[in-house]
Amino acid sequence: MSSEDIGTGIVVGIDLGTTNSCVAVSADAAIPDKAEKIAAGRLRPVSGALVITDRYRSPLTPSAVWIDRDGTPVVGARAKNKARQSGEPPPAMFFKRDMSGSQPLRAGHATITPTEASAHVLRYLRDLAESVLDVPVRRAIITVPAFFEVGAKNATTQAGTEAGLEVVETLIEPEAAAQAYLASRAGEPAGEGVFLVYDLGGGTFDASVVEWNSETFDHLSFDGDRFLGGYDFDQAIVGLLADKTPGYNLNIDVSVPEHRALLGALLAEAEDVKIELSRSPAADLVKQNLLDCDGEPMILTVPFERAEFEALIARRIEGTVDSCASALEKAARRRPDLSAESLDGIVLVGGSSRIPLVSEALAKRFGKQPELVDPDLCVAAGAALRTAFVDRRTTHLTLGPPVVLDGRGEINGRVLTGGGLADATSAVVVLRSDDGEYTARVRPDAGGGFRFADIPVTEDETGVTVSVEVDGRTVDSHAETLRAGLDQPRGGAVLANPISVKVRSGLRTVAEEGDPVPHHVEIGLRTVNQGVLLPVPVYEGSIPIGEVVVSDLPADTPVGTRVALSVTIGSDWVIDVHARVPTVGREGRATLNLRSFESDSWDRLKDRLDSVRASWAEKRNLVDPETRITHGPRIEKLIVELEGLLEQRLDAAQATYRMTVVEHLIEGLALGAGAHLTPSFAEFEAKMADLEQLLDQLASRDAQRAAEFRAELPALRATGTAAYRAESQLDWSKAVEQVEGRIYAVWNLLVPPGVLVPSEGPSAATLRVQVLAEIARGRDQLRDRMAGVPAAQRTRALDDLYQSLLTEADAAHADVHRIDVNAPDATRALRRVLDERVAPWLARVETFPPIVDVDPE
Amino acid sequence: MTTPAERVFAIDERERGGAPPGRSAYGVTWAALRARYAAEDRLRDALSETERRDKELVRELVVVLHKLREFVAASGPSMAAAGLSADAELVGALADRLAGAIARRGGTVIDPVGLPYADVADLVDVLDGDGPWVTKTERAGLRWTDGEVVCRAQVLLGGERETEGDE
């Protein structure tokens, strides 16, 4: 961006929010007719900043984008309204959650990326700011969540560029809120302090601990729930309303258009009740002219008490307070003297933090009264305050952020040439304090650089004007304010989810949620069995993101051998994992990308939900009662939420995230009842899968018989499931035998005619076919497993093992062929080969490549 | 214990009435201006807080007014049939009186039933529906005398959409 482009622009602070966005400027900014604009409500003073409002004096713009048929973008409330208009394609909303990905979003009549959607919102805010301020807006500080990784921050910067804004900084939201909070305490000494920032918005909850050390903010820790907010509380009130009005049918199915309209109306009423209950101990929901789900007219006069609303949401609020405690604990690891008592303030951010229970629960837990500083606007205000640290650029001037130490100020800058000023050294730069008490002059160096040091700061803040003069004529000037105790901020990025490695006994956490990045940790593990490959899977939260493998281990490496693991999470959000087995001199290294998370398409999400439903239906009665009680409600709630999200088709990121969570929950369920039975339920499922595979083969030869067998599958599965659930070993064995019998029968139909000797029992010829088939199956499996080993891990030892297993298979194959099936002891001989050679060989094939498990030391 | 010289100096400071020695007339004027600006800010904050409370109150009155009107529209005929016309008219009259009070305070009720959605799109939140007309106001909105939309109306849409050929 050239100096001409920058012009005499102003720097704005932008809160690019998940649901709403907002733009603000510093109250010190040079704005024409500032007082009139404030009086007219187009600039709203908030904590030392001025929030810019639209023509309807609204400071908030919904973060929604809708593209018209002719490609014209619609941003804000009009775009958001499209979400509820059934005849219109939906707008792009909640795209901030997708900023690290490039998954296309539906935005009305176009498909755009999350970055493009953000650019549309930023462009709208920039245009709004320019129209209100009457000055060009070319630069901005944009706030981002603390857990935004570099990719998402870069995408935010890119969005700014596309909107014609130079993003001079991406500031983390809790620091912006704390900045506004500090400004709201103007008059009090701005000394050191540690603050808990509690941010409960429409759809997310974040808790952060930030430290102000008189010069900079340090983001100490983070915790939260990315999908909890005020909307959940509105839904809770609608649920309570249904309980209170049993005479009406409020069993709402959002796929029915009339029900959807009813839900919309009830949620609007619920929001009113929630707001009223935040101010009064009781509120009535009064509504008529609505039809219930049976089409019956409703007359609602339903009293609500704050106490019952609080009881309804108490667990969730308590959960947020637990998150705060967790954030404090994490912060205390970095500041051992930090405790709830030593907090200097609790800052409430986000509209839902107005609920009185929030303040009460926080005060009760931490013994300190939280403070509410315009929770909807304070993040934008904080960003605007931070613009005080940004270089100021005018036609001939660039000024660095002023620094004040011990009552003396310093300003560095540069004189820009062009536009009639050919040589910077021909100019003189003059600094005058607004009170006329201090004047200084310097001549810039050849590059235009200059510095004013030792500027007296006589009050809390001192206004100065820096001018460029050529031949005694002022060609440019800029007003500046020097304040005590401010300096440039730092980054503050933290992990949104814990990072763990999987060991035999479960997940071992190596970095906690909220730990700042970069992060480095070293841990010791020990092997718990023998093998030649040592894989260590790495998880973010409950989602696997990759693994590091130590290959080529000597097969006789003793159990209990030490494995040193180091994990480094860089500020670029890349994880370097290094595993070493020092005693044998082997090591492995992997570079993993953290949170390369992308939303799925809606079609893919629908398929995944179908699969989740089927898998839960199958497992729900097999898990032990305790697991069912602890996990069942959560799984079922997630499924219901997912159904709603898929119906609305607005928030793909949330749907993808919740889908992944529910899938992992179901996958990790321990099947309790029948756990002692043999074979295991997994083996039973594997046999059923084998049978289905054989039936696929049979279908190409004898479709009718295949269909007959296939018709038996549901009964076989039901019998097996019932026997397992009843924990009856006898019934379970019979059920498994039934499946095996069908496998055997289908196999008989598949082998070439003439080879089999049909009889009641397995003849030697049949057995020989089965043994040979087993060997062939094992060979295929071995080849597949070898093909699955990455080239980098194909060591000589592994290759030798592979070849030796193939050789063993060939030898067994040849021996089986040598057995005369007509000999009297043929069956016994075949059985011996099967039991003593083929079965152990198959067992080794199934564990190829041999894996070493580890556990913590 | 102060020395005589210190006492003299202390008296000298009080006599200057807050202006430190050595400050120019320009500096003193500037300090006075700052004090005035600060007082103006405080006054503006106090006024805006009063206005905020007014808006909050009127916003609640608008909700009540809308519910009263809903009641009269829905129950008026049945009340009349039951011989309670006078009661219905009384409620209607009270609603009108409330509307007058809201208007006098500077509020305009946003109840756009029957209007084209395109004309009121900036003043409403759509709850559901499809079509170019506002068919129902679920919750009335409030617009202030200076143009501020204190609260958008919440509406349902409907009606026939013009086909491409009609346009």
DSSP A805: H
Give the whole-number percent of chain B exceeding pLDDT 90. 42
Nearest Cα neighbor of A309 from A236, A359, A243 is A236
SS3 content of chain B, % helix, strand, coil (to 5): 60, 20, 20
Q: Are A688 and A717 in contact (CB under 8 A)?
A: yes
CB atoms within 10 A of CB A375: 20
- The tokens for A760 are 């009641």
* Three-state secondary-structure class, residue A592: strand
Count of pairs with CB atoms under 8 A, one residue in A, one in B: 101
Q: Per-residue pLDDT tens for A125-173? A: 999 999 999 999 989 999 988 877 667 777 888 899 999 998 888 888 9
* Measured CA distances, A428 to A391, A455, A471, A482 (Å): 20, 17, 8, 21
Contacts of B124 in chain A (CB under 8 A): 81
User: Residue B24 is nearest to which of A88, A261, A437, comparing CB atoms?
Assistant: A437
The DSSP-derived string for A236-250 is HHHHHHHHH-TTS--
Alpha-carbon span A125 to A161, nearest angstrom: 13
Query: A487 φ, ψ to 5°?
Result: -150, 175
Q: Residue A461 above 80 pLDDT?
A: no
Measured in angstroms, the CA of B88 and the nearest CA of chain A are apart by 16
* Measured CA distances, A853 to A585, A724, B127 (Å): 18, 30, 56
Q: A264 and chain B: CB distance < 8 Å anywhere?
A: yes
Interface test with B, best of A37, A57, A128 (most B CBs within 10 A): A57
> Are B30 and A434 in contact (CB < 8 Å)?
yes
Enumerate residues 6+ apart whose C-beta is below 8 A from A430. Answer: A439, A440, A441, A466, A467, A469
* Measured CA distances, A673 to A664, A678, A721, B27 (Å): 20, 12, 11, 86
Contacts of B45 in chain A (CB under 8 A): 45
* Measured CA distances, A683 to A582, A738, B52 (Å): 38, 14, 69
Residue A493: pLDDT band by 50, 70, 90 thresholds?
low
Contacts of A265 in chain B (CB under 8 A): 127-128, 138, 154, 156
Enumerate residues 6+ apart whose C-beta is below 8 A from A834. Answer: A767, A770, A771, A774
The DSSP-derived string for A112-150 is E-HHHHHHHHHHHHHHHHHHHH-S-EEEEEEEE-TT--H
User: Residue B31 is nearest to which of A38, A39, A435, comparing CB atoms?
Assistant: A435
Query: A221 φ, ψ to 5°?
Result: -165, 170
Alpha-carbon span A238 to A338, nearest angstrom: 41
Query: B70 φ, ψ to 5°?
Result: -60, -45
Interface test with A, best of B146, B154, B156, B164 (most A CBs within 10 A): B154
Contacts of A40 in chain B (CB under 8 A): 146
Q: Per-residue pLDDT tens for A394-431? A: 778 877 767 776 677 888 788 888 777 888 888 999 99
Give the whole-number percent of chain A exceeding pLDDT 90. 21
Enumerate residues 6+ apart whose C-beta is below 8 A from B72. Answer: B88, B91, B92, B95
pLDDT reported for residue A370: 94
Q: A57 and chain B: CB distance < 8 Å anywhere?
A: yes
User: Residue A85 is nearest to which of B48, B63, B126, comparing CB atoms?
Assistant: B126
β-pairing, A586-593 vs A574-581, is antiparallel
> Are A261 and B121 in contact (CB < 8 Å)?
no
Q: Are A153 and A214 in contact (CB under 8 A)?
A: no
Alpha-carbon span A812 to A782, nearest angstrom: 15
> Are B123 and A272 in contact (CB < 8 Å)?
no
- The tokens for A270 are 């619920």
Q: Does the N-terminal peptide bond of residue B132 adopt cis geometry, omega within 30 degrees of 0? A: no
pTM of the predicted structure, to 2 decimals? 0.64
User: Residue A600's Cα: distance from chain center in Å?
Assistant: 14
Contacts of B139 in chain A (CB under 8 A): 268-269, 272
Residue A486: pLDDT band by 50, 70, 90 thresholds?
very low
pLDDT reported for residue B8: 42
Contacts of A435 in chain B (CB under 8 A): 26-27, 30-31
Contacts of A268 in chain B (CB under 8 A): 125, 127, 138-139, 154
Q: Per-residue pLDDT tens for A252-264? A: 876 677 787 788 7
B58-93: string of b/e by CB count within 10 Å (b at 16+)? Answer: bbbbbbebbbbbbbbeebbeebeeeeeeeebeebbe
pLDDT reported for residue A215: 63
Please tell me which residue, B42 or A26, carries the higher pLDDT value.
Answer: A26
Max distance between CA atoms of chain B, in angstroms, equals 100
Q: Per-residue pLDDT tens for B103-159? A: 999 999 999 999 999 999 999 999 888 889 999 998 899 999 888 999 999 999 998
Enumerate residues 6+ apart whose C-beta is below 8 A from A348. Answer: A198, A200, A354, A358, A359, A370, A371, A372, A373, A375
Q: Are A337 and A168 in contact (CB under 8 A)?
A: no
Q: Which residue of B has its CA nearest to A53?
A: B148
Segment of A751-760, A802-811, A830-839, B95-104 carrying the highest mean pLDDT = B95-104
